[in-house]
């Protein structure tokens, strides 16, 4: 029984010395890098159209999240979480929806935000053309 106590004491002391001595990774201050952004279709977009967004992004440690922020012509916003695709690729598909009667512009803005675990971010964006809003009724 005494041997067991000495053995446990020796193991405990040995493990205490394995605390790392304060040596660790330096703080992560490097943002991810977005290599490419692809939005399909790449033409005139109408409300109700299906949009596919693909991005290739890397980080010196790891990409934690990738998200699409779509700003529609009527000023509304949609947020869509991207899923890992292959390698360093991420993708998401969604239906573009906005109120044509409230449209104030003719562009759908697609912004991709990629972040790592430390909160460092990279962004890329693309604007797509949308039809002109209908004219107001004279009645």
Please give the pLDDT value at position 9.
56
DSSP letters, 38-91, are: EEES-S---TT-EEEEEEEEE-SS-EEEEEEEEE-TTS-EEEEE-EE-STTEEE
Percent share of the chain, pLDDT over 90: 70
Pick the range with the lowest mean pLDDT from 5-9, 23-27, 122-126.
Answer: 5-9
Task: Judge if the upstream peptide bond of residue 53 is cis by omega within 30 degrees of 0.
Answer: no
Grouping H, G, I as helix, E, B as strand and the rest as coil, residue 26 is: coil
User: Cα-Cα-Cα-Cα dihedral of 96, 98, 104, 105, to 10°?
Assistant: 10
Please give the domain boundaries of the chain with CATH numbers for all domains.
33-129 (2.60.40.10)
Distance in angstroms (rounded) separating the CA atoms of residues 4 and 10 = 10
- pLDDT above 60 for 56: yes
Per residue in 79-101, pLDDT tens? Answer: 999 999 989 999 999 999 999 98
pTM: predicted TM-score of the whole model, two decimal places: 0.78
- Given this model, what pLDDT does residue 1 score? 54
pLDDT of residue 23: 73
**Rounded distance, CA 139 to CA 36, Å?**
48
């Amino acid at each position: 029984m005494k041997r067991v106590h000495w053995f446990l004491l020796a193991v405990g002391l040995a493990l205490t010395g394995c605390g790392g001595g304060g040596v660790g990774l330096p703080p992560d201050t490097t943002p991810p890098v977005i290599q490419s952004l692809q939005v399909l279709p790449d033409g005139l977009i109408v409300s109700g159209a299906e949009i596919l967004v693909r991005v290739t992004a890397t980080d010196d440690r790891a990409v934690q999240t990738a998200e699409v922020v779509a700003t529609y012509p009527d000023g509304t916003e949609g947020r869509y979480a991207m899923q890992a695709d292959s390698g360093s690729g991420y993708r998401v598909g969604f239906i573009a929806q906005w109120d044509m009667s409230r449209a104030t512009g003719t562009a759908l803005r697609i912004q991709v935000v990629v972040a790592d675990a430390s909160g460092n971010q990279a962004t890329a964006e693309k604007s797509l053309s949308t039809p002109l809003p209908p004219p107001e009724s004279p009645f």
